[in-house]
Amino acid sequence: MTASATSPGAHAPASRRLRLPFSAWSMAAVVTALVLALPVLVIFGHVFIPAGEVWEHLRQTVLADYVTNSLVLLVGVGIGVLLIGVPVAWLVSMCEFPGRSVFQWALMLPLAMPAYIIAYTYTGILDFSGPVQGLIRELTGLGYGEYWFPEIRSLGGAMVMLLLVLYPYVYLLSRAAFLEQSVCVLEVSRTLGAGPWEGFRRVALPLARPAIIAGLTLALMEVLADYGTVAYFGVSTFTTGVFRTWYGLGDPAAAAQLSAVLLSFVFVLILLERWSRAKARFHHTSRRYSTLPRYRLRGWKAAGAFFACLLPILLGFLIPTLQLGIWAVQTTDQWMNPRFAGLVFNTFWLAIAAAIIAVGLALVLAYAQRMEGGRVTRVAVRIAGMGYAVPGTVIAIGIMIPFAAFDNALDAFMRDTFGVSTGLLLSGTVFALLFAYAVRFLAVSLQTVEAGLGKIQPSMDDAARSLGLHPLKTLWQVHMPIMRGTLLTALLLVFVDVLKELPATLILRPFDFNTLAVRAFELAGDERLPESSSAALAIVLVGLVPVILLSMTIGRSRPGQGAGQEDATDEDPGRRPRSRPLAVPAGTAVNPSADDPQDR
């Protein structure tokens, strides 16, 4: 779609072109966005089928539960991921304490842990029959109901499970933001007498706010889309309600209407995020960077920072992984075979392909928006990004319907005209699956890519174009290399999400096409946790490699440091900033009136 996008001005000056209401770029964006929005729109299409009586039933019985549970879950997880993600990001970016260089990547590990897996695992550990409570009973001699122990399978439990695996979104994006903050701004705050805490609260935090909110939005959209965890814990949310209404009550129209309500939650989230970003659109005021000298923490402060960082890793990764590992050792027959290796390979390539597609599409959309920020483009891009909060099954059905309709229509046409049957061209293919991933995870790549593009001054585009590069080449030669770290982040996020993705894969996959998530879920869903552990563990391990890779890249991604001329000084704790020629920082605004020679 982009080939045509490069054509403005390809004509000789003599040819007169009519100005279209949309430029090629916004056309490309709108078409891409519409195609990606198709599943969501198909689901929305059901909204107009009347389903009044079922609604009355829902309103009288379960709707209040759906609303309150979903809201409580959103608020709880939201607060939780902020309270974990932002402070640890600040600690590892700006402070020096024992273990920091390990924590800075280890804090991302829970990202590789599917929420339903951690839920199953913790249930195994913490529920009444599990080893922890068993030990308590053995030690105290008390029985059921005679001592207090938090109920893991509850709304609160679901909240904790989700925030343990979702905080890395906030951590990841806010850490990147902290690292990218110009050293001048932070140094200024120090010269103004702001200590570490003040500098955090009054300078770094407000500057990083767009990134933090972007991470929060991603986490909350995942919360809305989650089915596995809440269903297992018996918490009725909008998502479980959609399934119950569709399948249990056999009413797709009412289910679609519930989905529409769900999407309105998302819309509010997106608006909130837009609003926050619009209020604070920061380009860097200075392009001079150096390695930030970190605050060196000692004594109890260092210990506090150490445990603050250790705890989320311990709970969100180490304990569940250990449990999975123990189970996997007990069930070697599940994974010690070539078929399992094939499964790992299959999943790996699928996730890589999906990540590249999702990031590629996000680049097209975000760049088009940058080029032509028209309202139509903006709205289209927003709608295309909504798929992230829609449960995978709903997306899958939204894809299945138009794909099968297309296949069947084409087939009917070919049969009638040529007497050949084309069969199903799209349905049940890897293409359909990749499309589903693109729809589902576009928001992830889009958020990240938009944030990255936003940090590149618009004059970069102009400079490249004035040097003879058309927009597409500018994207390729200027923006993409500059935002290499951002692109890698986006790739990783989608990659890990696809590794974990279950419901859409389950429904849309071709014959005999398995992924690790499918394997893990089928076994876990059958309450065979030990047998499922090897697949779950493999998801975690496969996800681990890029997580570590990414972390190392981000560590080096402070602008100017990624270009390869400087070593990875980020890993070197006590290093002082390099001395630089003293000059006025570029871009520091000089008040135009200050030297205005007028005699007013």
Partner 1 sequence: MRALLPRPLIWTLAAMAATTASLPLTGCSPGAETEEVNLYSARQENLIAPLLEQFTDETGIEVNLVTGSADALLQRLRQEGRNSPADVFITVDAGRLHQAHAAGVLQAIESETLEDNIPERYRDPDGEWFGLSMRARPIMYHRDRVDPAELSTYEALTDEQWEGRICIRSSDNVYNQSLVASMIASEGADAAQAWVDGLVPNLARRPQGGDRDQIRALADGVCDVAVANTYYLGLMLEGDGRDRDVAEQIGVFWPNQDDRGTHVNVSGAGVTAHAPNRDNAIRLIEYLSSAEAQEWYAEANQEYPIRDDVPTSEILADLGDFISDDIDLYVLGKNNAEAVRIMDRGGWR
Partner 2 sequence: MQVPHTPLLDLDHVDIGYDGRAVVHDATLQLPEGQIGCLLGPSGCGKTTLLRAIAGFEPVMRGQVRMHGETVSEPGYTVPPERRGVGMVFQDFALFPHLSVGDNLRFGIRHWSRAAQDERVRQLLRLVGLIGYEPAYPHALSGGQQQRVALARALAPRPGLLLLDEPFSSMDVELRGGLAREVRQILRAENTTAILVTHDQNEAFAFADRVAVIHEGRIAQLDSAYNLYHRPANRFVADFIGEGTLIPGMVEPGHQVDTALGHLQGPLSEDLPPGTAVDVLVRPDDIAIDNEQGEVRTEVLDKAFRGADFLYTLRLPDGLSVLCMAPSHDNFVIGEHVRLRLDFSHLVVFSRESGVDCPAG
- Sites for partner 2 among residues 490-529 (CB under 8 A): none
CA-nearest of 494, 500, 505 to 546 is 494
Binding positions for partner 1, 356-385, rule CB under 8 A = 356
CA-nearest of 164, 123, 115 to 529 is 123
Q: Which is nearer to partner 1, 78 or 485 (by Cβ)?
A: 485
Considering only 5, 107, 396, 475, the residue that binds partner 1 (CB under 8 A) is 396
Considering only 3, 13, 278, 339, the residue that binds partner 2 (CB under 8 A) is 13
Q: Which is nearer to partner 2, 139 or 467 (by Cβ)?
A: 467
Under rule CB under 8 A, residue 375 binds partner 2:
no
Measured in degrees and rounded to the nearest 5, phi and psi for residue 580 equal: -130, 155
Size of the site for partner 1 (CB under 8 A): 79
Under rule CB under 8 A, residue 316 binds partner 2:
no
Angle at 185 between CA 182 and CA 188, to 5 degrees: 145
Under rule CB under 8 A, residue 492 binds partner 1:
no
The region of 158-166, 192-200, 418-426, 561-569 touching partner 2 under the rule CB under 8 A is 561-569
The region of 1-9, 52-60, 276-284, 317-325 touching partner 1 under the rule CB under 8 A is 52-60
351 SS3 class: helix
The 230-269 contact track toward partner 1, x by CB under 8 A, reads: -xxxx-x---x--xx-xxxxxx------------------
How many H helices and E strands in the chain?
26, 2
Under rule CB under 8 A, residue 398 binds partner 2:
no
Sequence letter at residue 287? R
296 SS3 class: strand
Name the strand (E) or helix (H) holding 96.
strand 95-96
Under rule CB under 8 A, residue 568 binds partner 2:
no
Beta bridge partners of 296: 96
Q: Which does 65 bind (CB under 5 to 8 A by kind): partner 1, partner 2, none?
A: partner 1
Q: Which does 353 bind (CB under 5 to 8 A by kind): partner 1, partner 2, none?
A: partner 1
Under rule CB under 8 A, residue 373 binds partner 2:
no
Q: Which is nearer to partner 1, 102 or 142 (by Cβ)?
A: 142
Provide the pairing of β-strand 295-296 with 95-96. parallel
d(C-alpha 152, C-alpha 132), whole Å? 12
Q: Is 57 exposed, middle or buried (0-12, 13-18, 19+ CB in 10 A)?
A: middle
Give Cα separations from 495 to 86, 213, 352, 372, 498 (angstroms). Answer: 23, 22, 6, 29, 5
Q: Is 67 exposed, middle or buried (0-12, 13-18, 19+ CB in 10 A)?
A: middle
Q: Which is nearer to partner 2, 286 or 422 (by Cβ)?
A: 286
Task: Give Cα 219 to chain centroid, integer Å.
Answer: 7
Q: How far is the CB of 193 from partner 1 (least distance, A)?
A: 42
Q: How far is the CB of 21 from partner 2 (least distance, A)?
A: 12
The 253-292 contact track toward partner 2, x by CB under 8 A, reads: ----------------------------------xxx---
Q: Which is nearer to partner 2, 420 or 589 (by Cβ)?
A: 589
Size of the site for partner 2 (CB under 8 A): 50
Q: How far is the CB of 407 from partner 1 (least distance, A)?
A: 6
Q: Which long-range contacts (CB under 8 A, 24 or more apart) does 462-470 make?
A: 470/6, 470/9
Binding positions for partner 1, 113-152, rule CB under 8 A = 123, 127-129, 143-145, 151
d(C-alpha 235, C-alpha 223), whole Å? 13
In sequence order, the 6+-apart residues with CB closer than 8 A to the CB of 527 are none
Q: How far is the CB of 278 from partner 2 (least distance, A)?
A: 18
Q: Which is nearer to partner 1, 66 or 178 (by Cβ)?
A: 66
CA-nearest of 379, 403, 332, 362 to 491 is 362
Would you tell me the crossing angle of helices 338-371 and 458-466 to the nearest 10 degrees? 80
Q: Which is nearer to partner 2, 39 or 374 (by Cβ)?
A: 374
CA-nearest of 6, 5, 26, 35 to 365 is 26
Q: Which does 518 bind (CB under 5 to 8 A by kind): partner 1, partner 2, none?
A: partner 1
Name the strand (E) or helix (H) holding 295.
strand 295-296
Q: How far is the CB of 485 from partner 2 (least distance, A)?
A: 11
Under rule CB under 8 A, residue 592 binds partner 2:
yes
Under rule CB under 8 A, residue 418 binds partner 1:
no
Q: Where on the chain is the footprint of partner 2 (CB under 8 A)? A: 8-9, 13, 16-19, 287-289, 457, 459-460, 462-470, 477-478, 481-482, 484, 559-560, 562-563, 565, 580-590, 592, 595-600
